Copies of this chain bind each other. A is one copy, B any other.
Amino acid sequence: MANIFLMKSIFQTIQDFSVEELNLLDDLITIRTLKKGEFLLSENQVCNEIVFIKKGILRSFFLNHKGDEITNCFAFENEFMASFASFITEQKAEENIQALIDTELQVLNRKALEKLYQSGFNWQETGRKLTELEFVNLHKRMVSFQKLSGSQRYEELYKNHQKYLQLIPLQYLASYLGITPRHLSRIRKTVA
């Protein structure tokens, strides 16, 4: 069976769960592994699962009108990932989610989540709180696009997540920051 101790302890920080409530997870979580480059989700599929990253890195990207890949999100160990927009609306996703390195996931699918929600107040409230946290994260990213330039966003990222930067190909970073690889290369000369 999956070792979901860590995931449980994250839920525990959000809500004062009983052991029984947390143990509901045991039968609902499944395991999945992805090889480097493999896809968890392709655009035009409905996203029906939320994953917890036990090991590895995921990135989410979509295509612009020219067909360039635009990375809109990275997720690392001990973080949740999904196309939340698709999961919520049950519409086809615009994003692809791909493993940047070999990755090990703990999966909670829609039916499992609904079971949790139906099980009572606490899980329902946790769902709201987690959604709120996702909102706040997204809001921060949105603000960084409105008040910072591409190079300032890079500096922020460099300050806060330097350890990750080595792991991520520059082209993915560039589109995540909203600039071209050419320009990121220029910026790197002055910052790093």
Give the interface of A toward B (CB within 8 A).
Answer: 62, 64-65, 70, 72, 84-85, 88-89, 94, 117, 121, 124-125, 127-128, 131-136, 138-143, 145-147, 175, 178
Residues of chain B within 8 A of A135, CB atoms compared: 84-85, 88, 131, 134-135, 138
Query: CB-CB < 8 A to A94: which residues of B?
Result: 143
**5 nearest CB pairs, A to B:** A128-B128, A131-B131, A88-B132, A64-B147, A85-B139
- Known A125-B117, A128-B131, A131-B132; contact A70-B139, beta-carbon cutoff 8 A: no
User: Knowing A121-B121, A145-B142 touch, does A89 contact B128 (C-beta < 8 A)?
Assistant: no
7 further A-B pairs in the complex, CB-CB below 8 A; given A84-B139, A138-B138, A141-B142: A85-B140, A88-B136, A89-B136, A124-B128, A128-B128, A138-B142, A145-B145
Partner of A85, one of B64, B136, B175, B178: B136
Q: Which residue of the partner chain B has the closest CB to A178?
A: B146
